[in-house]
Amino acid sequence: MDMRERVNAALKQAMKDKAVARLSTLRLINAAIKDRDIAVRGEGNEAGVGDAEVLAILGKMVKQRHESARAYEEGGRLDLAERERAEVAVIEEFLPRQLDEAEVAKAIEKAIAETEANSIRDMGKVMGILKKKYTGQMDFGTVGPMIKNRLSA
């Protein structure tokens, strides 16, 4: 079952269960996927988005909600922050397990060896391999500086 089918199945189940908050979040996920589908089709790709792209969309949605929750907490709106966290929990159900620090470091070493990277100039090659293999499993915002440190050492 691909990602889109999993989201649609969860959406139908949420409707049956009358889980309003979950249903709302699943509809947001569906809307984001359809928006990206429309954008991709405008670029000439009739197939639409694949699972890797859906994972990237979900990862972006999680990151946005974490930032929103932090902003709401700073503003004293704990009710809204809690709602954002609830949305994150629903979205994360569709993401693969996140790699821990040791696993990320091991993946970086493997990608560096695979690309035979030896300077900062090769960082793009390393990131490309990591994104292909580990989309949705690691935060590339934190991985970038780790690769940079490793290649500049």
Tens place of pLDDT for every residue, the chain, 153 residues?
688 899 999 999 999 999 999 999 999 999 999 999 888 887 777 777 788 788 888 888 988 999 999 999 999 999 999 999 999 999 989 888 888 888 888 988 888 888 888 888 888 888 888 888 887 788 788 888 888 888 876
Of residues 63, 62, 55, the one with CA closest to residue 87: 62
CATH topology (fold) of 101-152: Arc Repressor Mutant, subunit A (1.10.10)
Q: Give the model's pLDDT for residue 75.
A: 94
Using DSSP, state whether 97 is helix, strand or coil. Answer: coil
Please tell me the distance from the alpha carbon of residue 104 to that of residue 108, in angstroms, as a whole number.
6
The CATH code that applies to domain 3-92 is 1.10.1510.10
Please tell me the distance from the alpha carbon of residue 12 to that of residue 17, in angstroms, as a whole number.
9
Tokens found for residue 117: 């990277």
Of residues 125, 95, 97, the one with CA closest to residue 112: 125
Of residues 104, 103, 133, 127, the one with CA closest to residue 115: 127
Q: Enter the pTM of the model.
A: 0.73
The residue ranges of every structural domain in the chain are: 3-92, 101-152
Q: Give the model's pLDDT for residue 4.
A: 87
Q: Give the model's pLDDT for residue 22.
A: 94
What are the DSSP calls for 38-84, one per residue?
Answer: HHHHHTT-TT---HHHHHHHHHHHHHHHHHHHHHHHHTT-HHHHHHH
Q: Give the model's pLDDT for residue 1.
A: 60
Tokens found for residue 47: 């197939």
What are the DSSP calls for 118-142, one per residue?
Answer: -SGGGHHHHHHHHHHHHTTTS-HHH
CA 83 and chain centroid, separation: 19
Phi, psi (degrees; rounded to nearest 5) at 112: -65, -45
Q: Give the model's pLDDT for residue 112.
A: 87
